[in-house]
Amino acid sequence: QVQLVESGGGVVQPGRSVRLSCAASGFTFSDFGMHWVRQAPGKGLEWVALIWYDGSNKHNVESVKGRFTISRDNSKNTLYLEMSSLRVEDTAVYYCARDLRRRPAAGTGFDYWGQGTLVTVSS
Amino acid sequence: DIQMTQSPSSLSASVGDRVTITCRASQSISNYLNWYQQKPGKAPKLLIYGASTLLSGVPSRFSGSGSGTDFTLSISSLQPEDFATYYCQQSHTPPLYTFGQGTKLEMK
């Protein structure tokens, strides 16, 4: 069965960096686009970043541009989110999610999600 | 950017009730609208994509409709496991896959 397992969260000081990982299993990881979505405590969902199946195309939400980098290693079936210059407002549960397609496009959706990893940015 | 607005923000209902949740887009998104269910402490689950296509395994009591700017998620006969928060999401303008603010469905 499809499984996505995030790790790497914790408490981090403002301005510091952290790398999240998402280990995928139960499907051919290299056949699907992937996303990171976050949810601040008690708040709604916010799409953060996407990457195509082969890593050739990536996009971030404006609020994290220049600070967050999405990447993947298809040989390790793992998705990453490198987060730098962290701000208090980045505090959230970060979910990785699988896209319905290889190349996320109009009309797609996110059909499998991990359980999330909490990143708390605090001094 | 396209804004997604759900109504109501919260809703109280009883087992067996029929409920409808509305999602409105700030501009036309054709039928590029998805619905997710999220239970407390859990990840979201995709229920419907393309406004009306149920994902495999989703009970048939769930249905979606709409196009353009106005969409609805209906649950024909509420079951205890349906009490959750529901989010709409537009996929019309990738890569900005905007979510609505959520509708919390609570037991009356």
Give pLDDT tens digits for B47-57.
Answer: 999 999 999 99
CB within 8 Å of chain A, chain B residues 87-106: 87, 89, 91-102
Cis bond upstream, residue B95 (ω within 30): yes
The pLDDT tens digits for B2-43 are 999 999 999 999 999 999 999 999 999 999 999 999 999 999
Give the minimum alpha-carbon distance from B55 to chain A in angstroms, rounded to a whole number.
8
For the cut 90, the answer to whether the pLDDT of residue A56 exceeds it is: yes
A32 touches chain B (CB under 8 A): no
Give the 3-state secondary structure of residue B46. strand
Read off the amino acid at residue A70: I
Give the 3-state secondary structure of residue B94. coil
For the cut 90, the answer to whether the pLDDT of residue B95 exceeds it is: no
Nearest CA in chain A to B97: A47
Give the closest residue to B63 by CA, choosing from B72, B55, B71, B74. B74
In chain B, the N- to C-terminal Cα span, in Å, equals 36
